[in-house]
Amino acid sequence: MQVLLATSANSLLGGYYSSYLLLVVPFIILSFIAQTLVKSTFSKYSQVRSQSAYRGVEAARRLLNEQGLQHVMIERVPGQLSDHYSPREEVLRLSQSTYDSQSIAAIGVAAHEVGHAVQQKENYAPNAIRSALVGPANIGSSFGPYLAMIGLFIGSDTGRLVTMAGIILFSAAVLFYLVTLPVEFNASKRALVLVENSGILSAEEIKDTRKVLQAAALTYVASALTAFMSLLRLILLSRRRES
């Protein structure tokens, strides 16, 4: 009996590591490459001063006002590329690398965050879905994979139920990553239209700004793929355990 249990555990561990190497590691590497690319692209175009000489905060304020979002506050936050929009507080937070910079990269990032504020104003459906998934996604990403693996090692009917619960929890996190893609792509699309219509950036500057936003989008794609393949790995392991 002990030999059978040991063999089963070794088989499960072997499947765990081999599936991790085949399904997850390549996308972790892709995520690292994407993060490196966005940092290098931002660094390059953060050295290019915009013709309008708008600072990131000034561009954001003007774009917000033009969209009837005068009530949205702008705050400075520490770090680089830590920019984000908080829909609950209706506050747009710009990092130190964006707030005072007059670069086209900073203006592009600031405009992207304004795009999120406009999404909320217009009740953009994917954005609303993502907001609703924040809580379940946080729980799912924190506990789902571990719960699933515990269930796999337990075995029996109880183990299958625990594994299924973990997979369902983690599925909420994966769905969050997938819904994030259209939200981020749409925010970048809105950003380019906003800066073009406002005249803050010239047509030539918008081309370079698009490169910054496209590099940032790749990080979301890599994260979504990594999460999806991690979920697939758990499903395959659970089926292997039952067979």
134, 203, 205: which is closest to 172 by C-alpha?
134
Residue 3: strand, helix, or coil:
helix
Tokens 């190497």: give the residue: 21
Catalytic pick among 58, 75, 113, 196: 113
Quote the strand ranges of the chain, DSSP E.
73-77, 84-86, 91-95
Tokens at 205, concatenated: 């500057």
Q: What angle do CA 30, 177, 181 make, to 5 degrees?
A: 80
Asked about 113 being catalytic, the answer comes back as yes
Report helix angle 203-242 to 25-45, nearest 10: 170
181, 180, 85: which is closest to 134 by C-alpha?
180
Active site residues: 113
